[in-house]
Chain A
Amino acid sequence: MSRIHVTTTVNGDTVEFLADPRETLLDCLRDHVGLTGSKEGCGTGDCGACSVRLDGTLVCSCLVLGVEAQGRTVETIEGMATGGELHPLQRKFIEHAALQCGFCTPGILVAAKALLEKNANPTDTEIRYWLAGNLCRCTGYDKIIRAVQDAAAEMRGAA
């Protein structure tokens, strides 16, 4: 199996790696780029733990081939805080105890950020449906919804 050279932008940095064409973007991020914040919970697009942005679009990185990232822009959880400053969602997740084991948290944060960029003032129902592809087994989602709402309110106030 010959590997393919891929050049892509991850969290603003130019990154190069050699991908077996069968490897997913998630495999490449984790095993070739060293960014293990995106998680594999299912490998079938059902859990959302691997959520990243690809040219701004929210996707499951387990459903994208690594070679498809050629020339594209990838944003992962590792790029969510700017400088030393946490994104309001990250801060509110900690404050509201919206995580327990934390394994689904990176994917949920990446997905919630994409929601708030599209809809700054979502209803609880809108948040729940937007995040329906992000499984959490620990929290029952209650505190996650509250944290997203509180972050949204803060971001609206700050804007």
Chain B
Amino acid sequence: MRYHAPQTFEEAAQLAAQAPGVTRFLAGGTDVLVQLRAAMVRPDDLIDIKKIPGTAEISRTADEGWRIGVAVAGAQLGAHAGLKADWPGVVEGMELVGSTQVQGRATLTGNLCNGSPAADSVPGLVAAGAVAEITGPTGKRTVAVEDIPTGPGRTSLTKGEVISALLLPPRGAHGGDAYLRFIPRTEMDIAVVGCAVSLTVEGATITAARVVLGAVAPTVRLVPDAAKAIIGTALDDAALAALTKAAEAACSPIDDKRGTIAFRTEVAGVLARRAARIAYDRARGGKQ
């Protein structure tokens, strides 16, 4: 295995494009190193993108959104007051990934590119309407985060393409988001079900919403019907019941070592209700 530490994304993309064998990008490494150790992947070329200037930075964009570097670790997100105030759901999703130690390394981008339907940070990003900036051998493009994963362990990135930043839109006034997951222990598990909700309100009425489920389908799933169920409501019992039904209907999970189809479907509704309430309170009570 050859180890590369390029200084620019263009260089990284060229390296990957020209590499003849198996290539992996290394950001936080909390997935790649596990796969290396278990010999699940045996890369010929490993491209460490953390040495590229700016990758460890979180910055405001011109439109009052956020640009998050690909080497920003979870602990850094959690310590960033401004980002946390705007997108607490995005931050809390990332902070649920692994242990304190893993938080010192794991990144949003890595969590996204691992392609797991249970990735804790991805529902929050999708609910927020986040966009990935991709650098490829022929230039840059941007793609909605929900269009990156295409199935367990697979992404829509083509050979030579590397995510060079994640972009969060401006939060705007009267918005709130939240992410909840279900795990059997209190920490250290992969989500059995995850749910992120992002919404905005005018007074008590929800004017816009995005509801996203994790671990109930081959990819993280944006559920427009669930959003419709609460838009125009004050999140009353009827709205919550409709939200529950829409969330359950969107599930096409599997039975596996972490949960059953029936359990995942049921809990998806529970988490949708609970996450919506938190997001709603955040939107109404000002930014938390």
Contact = CB atoms under 8 A, between A and B. Distances in A.
Contacts of A68: 29, 48, 50
B261 interface: no
A111 interface: yes
Interface stretch (B95-103, B132-140, B158-166, B195-203): B95-103
A44 B34 contact: yes
Contacts of B30: 45, 63
A62 B75 CA distance: 18
Contact of A22 (B29, B36, B50): B36
Interface string B47-61: 010100000000000
A60 interface: yes
Contact of B101 (A4, A22, A48, A65): A48
A92 B79 CA distance: 29
B263 interface: no
Interface string B25-59: 01011100110111000000010101000000000
Contacts of A60: 99, 101-102, 105
Contacts of B3: 4, 21, 65, 67
Nearest to A66: B3
B105 A64 contact: yes
A1 B3 CA distance: 11
Interface string A104-138: 00000001001100000000000001111110000
A51 interface: yes
Contact of B26 (A43, A44, A65): A65
A133 B37 contact: no
Given A21-B3, A65-B3, A132-B186, A51 B101 contact: yes
A-side interface mostly: mixed
A44 B2 contact: no
A95 interface: no
Contacts of B169: none
A59 B187 CA distance: 17
A46 interface: yes
Interface string A46-89: 10100100100111101111011000000000000000000000
A64 to B, nearest CB: 7
A24 interface: yes
B99 A132 contact: yes
B1 A63 contact: no
A48 B101 CA distance: 7
A137 B75 CA distance: 27
A21 B5 CA distance: 12
B75 A129 contact: no
A129 B188 CA distance: 10
B73 interface: yes
A44 B40 CA distance: 13
B104 interface: yes
A48 B99 contact: yes
Nearest to A64: B29
B273 to A, nearest CB: 25
28 contacts: A1-B1, A4-B3, A21-B46, A44-B38, A45-B98, A45-B99, A45-B101, A46-B99, A57-B104, A58-B100, A58-B101, A59-B101, A59-B105, A60-B101, A62-B33, A63-B30, A64-B29, A65-B33, A65-B48, A67-B3, A114-B100, A129-B186, A129-B187, A132-B99, A132-B186, A132-B188, A133-B98, A133-B102
Given A1-B1, A45-B102, 8 more contacts: A4-B3, A22-B36, A45-B101, A46-B99, A46-B188, A54-B104, A65-B29, A132-B188
Interface of B: 1-3, 26, 28-30, 33-34, 36-38, 46, 48, 50, 73, 75, 98-102, 104-105, 186-188
Q: Which 9 A-B pairs have the closest CB atoms?
A: A133-B99, A132-B187, A21-B3, A57-B104, A60-B101, A59-B104, A44-B34, A43-B37, A63-B33
